[in-house]
A and B are shown apart, each in its own frame.
Chain A
Amino acid sequence: GAGVSQSPRYKVAKRGQDVALRCDPISGHVSLFWYQQALGQGPEFLTYFQNEAQLDKSGLPSDRFFAERPEGSVSTLKIQRTQQEDSAVYLCASSRGTGQAFFGQGTRLTVV
């Protein structure tokens, strides 16, 4: 596609509900990153894929967070049993491998 596409743009979840956030990277980009951005803060790294392999998940805050990229293109970030502190904007970025990363517009998750 022309850019990184994320859906939904906005998600309101009740505490304890599971959510799934989708990222469509730029076609042909092998690297895919998920970041979490709290209000007024810079993005914080969650996890990184090279093709379908998840090479780094050191930033995932708990075992309630799970990400996958089964066919090396679309990725899904799943959060189980959401809590209020999970409220944030979740950004996806993709790149050819090194260098410039292109970000999507993010999914704003609000847990109530």
Chain B
Amino acid sequence: QQPVQSPQAVILREGEDAVINCSSSKALYSVHWYRQKHGEAPVFLMILLKGGEQKGHEKISASFNEKKQQSSLYLTASQLSYSGTYFCGTELAGTASKLTFGTGTRLQVTL
């Protein structure tokens, strides 16, 4: 079953923060986050394995709550380059990195 992402879309001014959530009804092995710009390939941001870890990548970080099967992506001090559609991809145990992607969150950063 497809993970649910929220919000569906968000508009930010440069420098503002945002949180994107991803929720699954199934027990997850890992959560992968990607950003995709129009007409381009999805670009890997980070992967979180079960264990409730939190990872960071410059001003983008994420957490994974294994008990709730939820992951959140945190964007701080957003830049124009952050604009795009963000997808979470969930991996179940024993499925060899096969990902089920959410419907995406469209993020637009304006001046």
Q: Are B41 and A101 in contact (CB under 8 A)?
A: no
**Chain A contacts of B44 at CB under 8 A?**
100-103
Q: Which of A43, A44, A97, A105 contacts B97 (CB 8 A)?
A: A97
Residues 59 to 85 of chain B near chain A (Cβ within 8 Å): none
* Chain B nearest Cβ from A107, distance in angstroms: 11
Q: Are A45 and B100 in contact (CB under 8 A)?
A: yes
* Chain B nearest Cβ from A70, distance in angstroms: 20
B58 contacts chain A at the CB level, 8 A cutoff: no
Interface, chain A (partner B; CB < 8 A) = 4, 31, 33, 35, 40-45, 48, 50, 55-56, 91, 95, 97-106
Q: How far is the CA of A55 from the CA of B43 in the complex (A)?
A: 25
Which of B34, B41, B99, B100 has the most chain A CB atoms closer than 10 A to its own CB?
B41
| Contact pattern, B 33-66, Cβ under 8 Å of A = 1, otherwise 0 | 0100000111110010000000000000000000
Known contacts being A42-B87, A91-B41, is A101 close to B104, with CB within 8 Å?
no
Q: How far is the CA of A33 from the CA of B89 in the complex (A)?
A: 13
* Chain B nearest Cβ from A26, distance in angstroms: 12
Q: How far is the CA of A102 from the CA of B45 in the complex (A)?
A: 11
**Chain A contacts of B40 at CB under 8 A?**
105
Q: Are A101 and B101 in contact (CB under 8 A)?
A: no
Q: Are B97 and A99 in contact (CB under 8 A)?
A: yes
Q: Are B41 and A106 in contact (CB under 8 A)?
A: yes
Q: What are 28 A-B residue pairs whose CB atoms fall within 8 Å in the complex? A: A4-B41, A31-B97, A33-B99, A35-B101, A40-B104, A41-B103, A42-B87, A42-B102, A44-B101, A45-B98, A45-B99, A45-B100, A48-B97, A56-B95, A91-B41, A95-B97, A97-B96, A98-B96, A98-B97, A99-B47, A100-B44, A100-B47, A101-B32, A101-B44, A101-B97, A103-B41, A103-B42, A104-B41
Residues 2 to 28 of chain B near chain A (Cβ within 8 Å): 2
* Chain A nearest Cβ from B56, distance in angstroms: 16
Known contacts being A95-B97, A99-B97, is A105 close to B47, with CB within 8 Å?
no
Q: Which of A31, A41, A103, A105 contacts B96 (CB 8 A)?
A: A31
